[in-house]
Chains A and B, each alone.
Chain A
């Protein structure tokens, strides 16, 4: 550790801290400030300080609460699902069977696809009349599905698409974690007569806890802030079934011109996100470090 160099660490930090302050923190504060002002659209015209009015307007808006419910439901399902599936995928592609490297490459492909392209691809593939998926279902004599067209199916479909996009990415982290586990430890356990399942539960899981925390937190942040799929595919519908909160906030600001309401929604959202992440940290990292 270098202790006596007074100015050097600060010099090293200037570029980073300057950038982070300007491009991450100032916008947050600007957004916070915006949430306390009116939009200046009424007949009186000017933008005024209105205190908590924007927040009150949000709380009265059933569409806002719908977006909150939808977001919570989405995250309650998709986060554990993604973490679980990523772990399973990592375990699968970590198997020492011949040809595994080929499959590993294949199954990690979605990482390279942007969410943009993935949304287009899946949006078309899941089209209720002319999508490839329904085409295959029909070929197998199964009933075709409405997918994004039906208020009940839209959310599960969205979860499916988002999982397809995210799991390979997170699996990569788990794979790194798995490969960091010394082989000797596992072999020792097998020699002691532990079944594969026991070895998994008692050795792998604890050793993966740091990775799991990281993946869980990162997944949560990514999924809470999910915006592109509703924007590109569903416009929040049908009947608000996929009206995730970031999309709702964006719509408020850009389509309805309610910048104050949009800023208020985002501020609240950030506060809640911090709390959720803090909770996750506390739960999954007990006595570590």
Chain B
């Protein structure tokens, strides 16, 4: 019997069953049908069924319908539908750094009245920061993220190295050394999970004290090609080319880690559940996110927000859904299903204080909760898509052997060009 736990499959199946059950319940209650249930649409790639079903149950006069698409599709669909003023979406999934971009284009309904200050204080501060644009609250954070340092204990000890303890924060220099000792044949020492995204790599230059964008949210020249950036990404380039401890190519680091072909990896807290469930033939541990020797502690954060389409015909219903989805109950549902990292401070505190979280692998959760406090959100700029895309190209070039100064200077020029349209 295959012991592999199909977590996603189970969730989908559960969602399907629950949805069918909910739908059939609606069918059996003609009285409710007669009440003219408002239907609102939420376009997303997230496993939203759990929360949607709970909401639909508690709110007989509103039904949230999920339009499920893939990750890349969400951006594309948002762009085209919101851009054309369509009313086919009510609830919008906004990736945190795109709030500014959508806000500038008038794609998000202001929410200040629906979410007064005391409601907002339930969320982690960094997340509230990225929820607004131009002084208006345009979205609410439903998910959070943080990053941990995972390692394969056996691969490290075979090279005579002991990995960091749960309170120990390694430096990137230590990571490099360990990686070099471990890398041989087809086994690699270290890789970032999202190895070419600014989300994941932002701590590298920020840890050296640099900004990632100008104060106007548009300038990059003189910033992303400055000394801190160049030295940080020179290190990144060497990982892949000189020391060859990080794999190139597209095969995901999670795959490699599971197959014991990667010794160390920086990943989100979602890995804790999936690694534990995968029943792996080796032991692994998690530790805080590494920093530069003498550098600042910076950890990636922020994730998905929800907004309301200003052209929606059901704004009140949509706002009610947002209020639920951003609240503690929904946060708990998602967290317990192992899908997300909570954006609510109360839940994070709970994780730290939960007595069940003292044994491995659950002991990793409080580490993650503590790391959340060091989160620095992504830059707030209307040109985030362009910024991210051009940097991803630059990072890919670095992975393939490009020169850090050249690539970053080119990227800065290209980004400046694209930002011109916002000035």
B386 located at the interface, meaning its Cβ lies under 8 Å from any Cβ of chain A in the complex: yes
B354 within 8 A of A: no
Complex contacts, B382 vs chain A, CB 8 Å: 41
Report the minimum CB–CB distance from B138 to chain A (whole Å): 17
User: Can you list 16 A-B pairs with a CB-CB distance of less than 8 A?
Assistant: A41-B382, A41-B421, A42-B422, A61-B417, A127-B250, A129-B249, A146-B400, A150-B400, A235-B393, A235-B396, A237-B396, A239-B393, A251-B389, A254-B79, A256-B383, A257-B421
Give min CB distance, B135 to chain A, whole Å.
Answer: 16
Smallest CB–CB gap between B260 and chain A, Å? Answer: 14
Contact A235 B392 (CB under 8 A): yes
Residues of A within 8 A of B393 (CB): 235-237, 239-240
A123 contacts the other chain (Cβ, under 8 Å)?
yes
Partner of B251, one of A41, A127, A146: A127
Give CA–CA (A262, B280) in the complex, Å: 48
Q: Is the pair A151, B400 in contact by a Cβ cutoff of 8 Å?
A: yes
Q: Tell whether A239 pairs with B402 under 8 Å between CB atoms, given A42-B421, A127-B249.
A: yes
The docked-state distance in angstroms from the alpha carbon of A258 to that of B133 is 21
Shortest beta-carbon distance from B374 to chain A in Å:
30
Known: A128-B248, A255-B389. A238 touches B422 (CB 8 A): no
Contacting B at CB under 8 A, from A5-36, are none
Known: A130-B249, A255-B389, A257-B385. A239 touches B397 (CB 8 A): yes
In the bound complex, do residue B249 and residue A128 qualify as a contact, i.e. CB atoms below 8 Å apart?
Answer: yes
How far is the CB of A246 from the nearest CB of chain B, in Å? 16
Instruction: Tell me if A39 is interfacial: C-beta within 8 Å of chain B.
Output: yes
Residues A42 and B418 in contact, CB atoms below 8 Å apart: no
Q: Are B250 and A41 in contact (CB under 8 A)?
A: no
| Interchain CA distance A257-B78 in the complex, whole Å | 12
With most chain B CB atoms within 10 A of its CB, the pick from A128, A130, A258 is A130
0/1 per residue, A41-56, Cβ < 8 Å to B? 1110000000000000
Is B4 in the interface zone, CB < 8 Å from A?
no
| Interface assignment of B414: CB less than 8 Å from any CB of chain A | yes
User: In the complex, which residues of chain A have a beta carbon less than 8 angstroms from the beta carbon of B83?
Assistant: 257, 259
| Interface residues as binary, B325-353 with A (CB distance below 8 Å gives 1, 0 otherwise) | 00000000000000000000000000000
Known pairs A238-B400, A254-B76; A123 contacts B389 (CB<8 A): no
Whole-angstrom CA separation of A174 from B406 in the bound complex: 48
The docked-state distance in angstroms from the alpha carbon of A237 to that of B204 is: 23
B-facing residues in A254-289 (Cβ within 8 Å):
254-259
How far does the alpha carbon of A72 sit from the alpha carbon of B422 in the complex, in Å? Answer: 32
Q: Which B residues are CB-close (under 8 A) to A41?
A: 104-105, 382, 421-422
| Chain B residue with the shortest CB-CB distance to A154 | B400
B247 within 8 Å of A (CB atoms):
yes
Of A124, A149, A151, A254, most B-chain CB atoms within 10 Å: A149
**A127-B83 Cα distance, complex, nearest whole Å:** 37
The interface bits of chain B over 387-423 (1 if a CB of A lies within 8 angstroms of the residue's CB, else 0) are 0010011001101101000000000001001100111
Chain A residues 219-247 with CB under 8 Å of chain B are 235-240
A63 at the B interface (CB under 8 A): yes
The answer for the CA separation of A236 and B394 in the assembled complex, in Å, is 12
Q: What are the residues of chain A within 8 A of B421 when measuring CB–CB?
A: 39, 41-42, 257-258
B250 to A256, Cβ gap below 8 A?
no
Give the total of A residues in contact with B, Cβ under 8 Å.
30
Interface membership of chain A positions 178-196, coded 1 if the CB is closer than 8 angstroms to chain B and 0 otherwise: 0000000000000000000
Contacts of A257 in B (CB 8 A): 79, 83, 101, 105, 385-386, 421
| A137 to B: closest C-beta gap in Å | 14
Cβ of B389 and Cβ of A149 under 8 Å apart?
no
Please name the residue on chain B nearest to A138 by beta carbon. B186
Please, which residue of chain A has its CB at the minimum distance from the CB of B188?
Answer: A129
Cα–Cα distance between A259 and B80 once the two chains are bound (Å) = 10
Q: Which residue of A lies closest to B76 (CB)?
A: A254
Shortest Cβ distance from residue A289 to the other chain B in the assembled complex, whole angstroms: 44
Asked whether, in the complex, the Cβ of A146 is within 8 Å of the Cβ of B248, the reply is yes
Complex Cα gap A202–B396 (Å): 51
Neighbour of A255 across the interface among B385, B414, B417, CB < 8 A: B385
Set B248, B386, B400, B423: member contacting A256, Cβ < 8 A: B386
Output the nearest chain A residue to B393 by Cβ-Cβ distance: A237
Q: Hey, which chain B residues are within 8 Å of A151, CB to CB?
A: 397, 400
In the bound assembly, the distance between CA atoms of A257 and B247 in angstroms comes to: 33
* Complex Cα gap A146–B250 (Å): 12
Q: Is the CB of A238 within 8 A of B396?
A: yes
CB-CB nearest in chain A for B250: A127
> What 1/0 flags go to B73-107 for Cβ under 8 Å of A?
00110011001000000000000000001001100
Q: Which 6 A-B residue pairings sit nearest by Cβ, starting from the closest?
A: A129-B249, A128-B249, A127-B249, A256-B386, A130-B251, A149-B400
A84 CB, min distance to chain B CBs, angstroms: 31
With a CB–CB cut-off of 8 A, which chain A residues contact B417? 61
Q: Mark A115-134, 1 if CB is under 8 A from B, else 0.
A: 00000000110011111000
Q: In the complex, are the beta carbons of A256 and B249 less than 8 A apart? A: no
A61 to B414, CA, bound (A): 9
Chain A residues with CB under 8 Å of B80's CB are: 254
- Further contacts, 4 of them, CB under 8 A, given A127-B251, A128-B248, A256-B386: A43-B423, A129-B251, A255-B389, A257-B421
Q: Which residues of A contact B414 (CB under 8 A)?
A: 63
Q: Is the CB of A238 within 8 A of B397?
A: yes
